[in-house]
Amino acid sequence: MTHIDAGAELDPVHPVALPGRARGLTAAEVAERVARGEVNDVPVRSSRSLAEIVRANVFTRFNAIIGVLWVIMLFVAPFQDSLFGYVIIANTGIGIIQEWRAKKTLDSLAVIGEAKPTVRRDGLAAEISTSEIVLGDLIEIGPGDKIVVDGSCVEADGLEIDESLLTGEADPVLKHAGDQVMSGSFVVAGGGAFAATKVGREAYAAQLAEEASRFTLVHSELRTGISTILKYVTWMMIPTAIGLGISQLVVKQHALKDSIARTVGGIVPMVPEGLVLLTSVAFAIGVIRLGRKQCLVQELPAIEGLARVDTVCLDKTGTLTEGGMDVTELRPLDGGDETYIRRVLGSLGESDPRPNASLQAIIAAFPESEEWRCTQSLPFSSARKYSGATFSEGDGETSAWLLGAPDVLLPAGDPALAETERLNEQGLRVLLLARVAKDLDDPAVTDGARPTALVVLEQRLRPDAADTLRYFDEQNVRAKVISGDNAVSVGAVAAKLGLSGETVDARRLPTEQREMADALEDGTVFGRVTPQQKRDMVGALQSKGHTVAMTGDGVNDVLALKDADIGVSMGSGSEATRAVAQIVLLDNSFATLPSVVAEGRRVIGNITRVATLFLVKTVYSVLLAVLVACWQVEYPFLPRHLTLLSTLTIGVPAFFLALAPNTERARPNFVRRVMRYSIPGGVLAGVATFVTYLLARHYYSGPGALDAETSAATLTLFLISMWVLAIIARPYTWWRICLVAAMAGAFLFVLVVPSLQHFFALKLVGSVMPWTAVAIAAVAAAVLELLWRQVDRRFPA
């Protein structure tokens, strides 16, 4: 609450009354502080640096393993057997390039969405970059603004600051001149200015803000699941490598170089090295695609998270409706003088230096009375649902007024509420102008309020809102409209957009979480929701096992956005909402959300597909190594054979499949869903290949027998792997069919070209064993088809 001094100096640029002392730093003082390094120079990055990208892609556990094996093969085997090392180099290069492209996209978007605090220098207010703030700068703040540096309050006009993101306390703190403000908090009501006392890395929330704004590749179910799989693969490799090495070198007494080559040939395919690469590439390309649609993904897993969402909580104002409003009607009550009421409304609008959308519409509709002077003001608050002012009317009279929600200002049963209800049913927003006898500082100021007029406002519906809500309905994502406005009015707006369901007044919701969760299951539209209730409602939905996304643009949405699984902010929203949201729609288009959901589903669905390809290879490689050690026979493959198979049945197809469209809804339990296919598929491929190898060992004899045996085993393994690929590629489209056919054609090309036969040491001898290999592969493919169908029935995802 602030009393305004009539003699205060008025800034010609900024209309707020400014005390003569609060003109801010001079240009000379700013230059002096810059020279001393007293600048807010915290580097706010939306992504990793190039050096971090290179380190993250090069220095991985499996790159280290593969790198060591590659160096060994360069010394003990022909060039063909070290091809796998060059494939790793190419894959790593692709990963670095794609993430670098994503970084540039994010950095450019972050500049567009960067907050521009208003700083007063030489008595003039101007927006500057956060990094240009210097020690002692006078920073103006209003509703929704985030405190970017620590400071001391110089001016306070009903200034209320929410420090919950720092302290966990949800109640706003009323600030007065001289009070401290902390970076990381945000303004919920009123306005003012503070002097920066700590800038740069000294500010309280500097490190938190820097960390929160980074582009991250961690903390997602997808990546956690892949890490879990890779951890177990690492442990399996060690005993398998030892057993395989002993069987080749000691038991079979092969030459050292040949034993090493065969052992490495058994170890390398166990590593699903391309799986991590493809996950990073798929996410990075997702960021680039969304960036082209003016969607800033502040945390990478948000793409995945929104794809898993089954409930979207929508704030009406700014999400379903556009920010602006229009006054459509003024209805005086009890025979009030309309001319006088217009004068009151005009003065009320001008009394707030930072008007919200409703007041802006009133300012546009009603001119200010020049004779009236505001002596006391009460800024609008989401918790109160009203604002107010006291005026000296020029003739010696003083009057105090409140403007806000009729059902908050008036007692139940008041005749004005019936009229309000009828207007709300038409989807109109109604504000009540009421005269009060008490001081605005009085907590019971609304008691005895005398209704004077109803101000009818029409909200502008977003043209894309109906189609977006229809998309969510088709995708089985439930939409919940949560608004601070009147429930009937919100319900009417939702009905215009085609959203059906029960409308609930949130003031009647139970406070106990379990009971609230049950009520939320039944309702669709909720009105008169307080900021704390929004947060509680998100938690109640999550307690029922729902994955919740929250959209909003106002300061009253911040707490709910922070607690939701995915927070989505409009680019025109307050700085506080943009700071806590994982996704910012820079073009303010609600219609972008389906693109984000679709991108997440594409990433998760496709990575789940290709992960099966990679892990089938891991399973059959481990099994083959174990069987070879138990039967005490030569390992059937050299690295070159498995490099060829991996490239044609996994590497190239997986890259295309990982980037293909996919609208399948994301489902939980990634590891379980992948392994339920990979284990039976890998076991079947390993057993069939080993059977072919044993039969070939009995069939062939003499010089060159090992090459013939290897070729027959390779043919069986390739055909089974191709069938796995054919299953994974479903449902078929023209390009998927062409992809599978191209891989089969490439393998056939290797078999018929003499130089390639020699290069890959593959040559089918005779007709009996090759056709036997085909027959075994056909039987294995049929069993695999039946087996996977049984898995789908007995172990549903």
Distance in angstroms (rounded) separating the CA atoms of residues 137 and 157: 19
**What is the C-alpha separation between 18 and 123, in angstroms, rounded?**
9
β-pairing verdict for 429-436 and 311-314: unpaired
Q: What is the pLDDT of residue 153?
A: 93
* Look-up of token digits 């499996």: 62
Instruction: State the pairing for strand pair 398-404/566-570.
Output: unpaired
Max Cα-Cα span within the chain? 120
pLDDT at 110: 63
Closest CA relative to residue 276, chosen from 654, 602, 648, 566: 654
The pLDDT value given to residue 323: 62
pLDDT for residue 429: 84
Q: How far apart are CA 565 and CA 539, in angstroms?
A: 10
* Distance, CA of 426 to chain centre: 36
pLDDT in tens, 586-607: 887 878 888 888 888 888 888 8
Helix ranges, 316-451 (H): 338-351, 357-365, 406-409, 415-424
d(CA 138, CA 125): 9
Do residues 550 and 539 lie in contact, with contact meaning Cβ atoms separated by under 8 Å? Answer: no
- The DSSP-derived string for 468-515 is HHHHHHHTT-EEEEE-SS-HHHHHHHHHHTT--SEEEEGGGS-SSHHH
Taken in order 754, 692, 616, 728, is the CA torsion positive or negative?
positive
pLDDT digits over 289-301, tens only?
A: 888 888 888 766 6
**Tell me, what's the pLDDT at 14?**
37
Cα 244 to chain centroid distance, Å, stands at 45
Helix (H, G, I), strand (E, B) or coil at 731: coil
Q: What is the pLDDT of residue 215?
A: 40
Rounded distance between C-alpha atoms, residue 254 and residue 63, angstroms: 28
**Cβ contacts of residue 80 below 8 Å, gap of 6+?**
638, 640, 759, 760, 761
Coil/strand/helix, residue 545: coil
Please, what are the domains in the chain?
Answer: 22-44+114-212 (2.70.150.10), 217-287+597-794 (1.20.1110.10), 295-320+462-588 (3.40.50.1000), 321-461 (3.40.1110.10)
Q: What is the model's pLDDT at position 113?
A: 59
User: What φ, ψ does residue 200 adopt, rounded to 5°?
Assistant: 65, -145
Give the separation between CA 142 and CA 140, rounded to whole angstroms: 7
Task: State the sign of the Cα–Cα–Cα–Cα dihedral 708, 714, 717, 722.
Answer: negative
- Tell me which H or E stretch contains 284: helix 273-291
Based on the number of CB atoms within 10 Å of its own CB, is 591 exposed (0-12), middle (13-18) or buried (19 or more)?
Answer: middle
Contacts of 340 (CB under 8 A, 6+ apart): none
In terms of DSSP bridges, do strands 523-527 and 502-505 run parallel, antiparallel, or are they unpaired? parallel
Q: Which residues of the chain have pLDDT under 70?
A: 1-21, 42-48, 106, 108-114, 164-171, 204-220, 248, 250-254, 299-301, 318, 323, 369, 555, 574, 794-797
Sole residue written with tokens 């060591």? 68
Q: Exposed (0-12), middle (13-18) or buried (19+): which is 128, by Cβ within 10 Å?
A: middle
Q: What is the pLDDT of residue 541?
A: 94
Q: Give the up-direction half-sphere exposure of residue 625: CA atoms within 13 A in the CB hemisphere.
A: 27
Q: How many Å apart are CA 319 and CA 414, to the nearest integer?
A: 32
Per-residue three-class SS string for 636-698 = CCCHHHHHHHHHHHHHHHHHHHHCCCCCCCCCCCHHHHHHHHHHHHHHHHHHHHHHHHHHHHH
Q: Which residues share a beta bridge with 326?
A: 458
Q: pLDDT value at position 282? A: 79
3-state SS of 142-203 is CCCCECCCEEEEEEEEEEEEECHHHHCCCCCEECCCCCEECECEEEEEEEEEEEEEECHHHC
In the set 145, 315, 563, 565, the catalytic residue is 315
Burial 439-457 (b: 16+ CB within 10 A, else e): ebeeeebbeebebbbbbbb
Residue closest to 276 by CA, chosen among 329, 218, 332: 218
Structure token pair of residue 539: 């938690």
Closest CA to 616 of 689, 677, 691: 677
The residues pairing with 381 across neighbouring beta strands, listed in sequence order, are 386
Q: Shortest CA distance to 299 belongs to which of 569, 614, 665, 548? A: 569
At 203 the pLDDT is: 73
Report which of 473, 538, 17 is spatially closest to residue 7, judged by C-alpha positions: 17
DSSP code string of 28-56: HHHHHHHHTT-B------SS--HHHHHHH
Structure-token pair, residue 120:
């007063």
Residue type, 132: E
Give SS3 for 612. Answer: helix
593 burial type by CB count under 10 A (0-12 exposed, 13-18 middle, 19+ buried): buried
315 is catalytic: yes
